[in-house]
């Protein structure tokens, strides 16, 4: 059984305040994109997990293993899970959370006593703030820690360019440094009115202060004729640009690699609507 786990970009991410539990209240528009990890599920003698990317731990700390553990032996026949990893990690693209959600959905299909969707959402929220979003297979407004999900239908798909430098940004670091962070002069942080809504990300402030390259990438993208809007996704380090067509996004990709160097990771694809899976 093969299932796809899509990445996401945040078309907006507003941090409303810090909560007593240490997390932050958010209001964020999450949008799935056509960049996917591939997961294979196969019945086996005992649970097993492997991954195409050797830098990813495959022990019980992996969210896929944690998702599988949340079922318990009595409800789940043993399965072997193999993950073909294409979504970069520490990138703000939700790859690990999406793998976990896809594992929950797939194992629920195999379970002897399947959980209800509401139960799956509860389990997902325990695995991570972004995991419930990925159960919904749709663009969505996410509130609370991120676990309160309201699916929305977006306009027709947009072409997307992703750009990620070789370094990643740890999500806890970005949230921890939000308070007291300052805007860099000459960089635009204000909402950009686009066909996909008002693009804004409050986490750009702390992240750009430390990783100035990302601010320069945003400024450069915003100066290109093909760019409809440009923003950091989640807590970074991926920057994205929306474009009218795939060929516009491809032209941007070619020039951004010339400008910032071919050792950076790039990808061109599109946003996905709820009926595009
Ligand atoms: O929920 P998740 O494990 O993905 O969150 C990773 C970290 O990001 C948390 O430990 C917390 O530091 C930060 N976070 C936050 N507020 C959120 C989501 C995440 O402070 N709404």
pLDDT at 195 over 80: yes
Identify the CA nearest to 115 among candidates 143, 252, 124: 124
- pLDDT tens digits, residue range 243-274? 999 999 999 999 999 999 999 999 999 999 76
* 264 closest CA partner among 273, 272, 274, 253: 253
Write down the pLDDT at residue 248: 98
Atom 7 of ligand 1: nearest residue by CA position = 172
- Report the separation in Å between the CA atom of 128 and the middle of ligand 1, taken as the mean of its atom positions: 8
Q: Contact 184/214 with Cβ under 8 angstroms?
A: no
Structure-token match 């003698």, residue found = 45
pTM listed for this prediction: 0.96
What is the average pLDDT across 26-38? 98
pLDDT score recorded for residue 46: 84
Tokens of 248: 């516009």
d(C-alpha 118, C-alpha 110), whole Å: 18
DSSP 8-class letter at 152? -
Q: Across the chain, what does the average pLDDT equal? A: 95
What is the Å distance from ligand 1's center to 192 Cα? 25
Structure confidence by residue, pLDDT tens digits, 129-179: 999 999 999 999 999 999 999 999 987 799 999 999 999 999 999 999 999
Q: In what order do the strands lie in the sheet with 265-270?
A: 227-232, 239-243, 159-164, 265-270
Give the Cα separation of 213 and 12 in Å (integer).
21
Does residue 275 surpass a pLDDT of 60? no
Q: Whose CA is nearest to atom 3 of ligand 1?
A: 128
Decide the pairing of beta strands 79-84 and 197-201.
unpaired
Mean of pLDDT values over 195-202? 95
**What is the arithmetic mean of pLDDT over 106-120?**
92
Helix axes 246-260, 212-222, angle to 10 degrees: 140
Please give the distance of CA 46 from its chain centroid, rounded to a whole number.
Answer: 30
99 catalytic, yes or no?
A: no
- Mean pLDDT of the region 226-241: 98
Confirm if 52 and 241 have CB atoms less than 8 A apart.
Answer: no
* Nearest-CA residue for atom 13 of ligand 1: 172
Computed on alpha carbons and rounded to an integer, the radius of gyration of the chain in Å comes to 19
Q: How many residues does the chain have?
A: 277
Is 263 one of the catalytic residues?
no
Cα–Cα distances in angstroms (integers) from residue 45 to residues 42, 65, 66, 79, 179, in the given order: 10, 16, 19, 7, 50
Q: What atom in ligand 1 is closest to the CA of residue 175?
A: 20
Structure tokens at 29: 């528009």
Question: How far does CA 26 lie from the centroid of its chain?
Answer: 15
Contact residues of ligand 1, CB 6 A cut-off: 23-24, 26, 128-130, 145-146, 171-172, 175
């Amino acid at each position: 059984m093969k299932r796809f786990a899509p990445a996401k970009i945040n078309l907006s991410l507003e941090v409303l305040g810090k909560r007593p539990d240490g997390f932050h209240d958010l209001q964020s528009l999450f949008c799935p994109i056509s960049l996917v990890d591939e997961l294979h599920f196969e019945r086996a003698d005992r649970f097993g997990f492997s991954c195409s990317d050797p830098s990813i731990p495959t022990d019980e700390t992996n969210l896929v293993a944690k998702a599988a553990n949340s079922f318990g032996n009595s409800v789940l026949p043993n399965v072997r899970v193999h993950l073909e990893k294409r979504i970069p990690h520490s990138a703000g693209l939700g790859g690990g959370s999406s793998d976990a959600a896809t594992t929950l959905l797939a194992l629920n299909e195999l379970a002897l006593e399947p959980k209800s969707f509401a139960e799956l959402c509860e389990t997902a929220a325990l695995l991570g703030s972004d995991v419930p979003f990925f159960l919904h297979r749709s663009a969505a407004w996410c509130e609370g820690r991120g676990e309160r999900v309201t699916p929305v239908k977006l306009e027709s798909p947009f072409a997307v360019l992703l750009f990620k430098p070789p370094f990643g940004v740890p999500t806890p670091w970005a949230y921890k440094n939000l308070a007291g962070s300052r805007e860099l002069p000459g960089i635009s942080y204000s909402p950009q009115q686009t066909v996909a809504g008002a693009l804004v990300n409050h986490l750009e402030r702390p992240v750009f202060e430390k990783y100035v390259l990302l601010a320069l990438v945003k400024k450069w993208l915003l100066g290109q004729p093909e760019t409809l809007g440009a923003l950091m996704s989640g807590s970074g380090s991926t920057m994205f640009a929306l474009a009218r067509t795939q060929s516009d996004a491809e032209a941007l990709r070619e020039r951004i690699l010339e400008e910032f160097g071919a050792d950076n990771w790039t990808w061109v694809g599109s946003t996905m609507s709820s009926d595009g899976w």
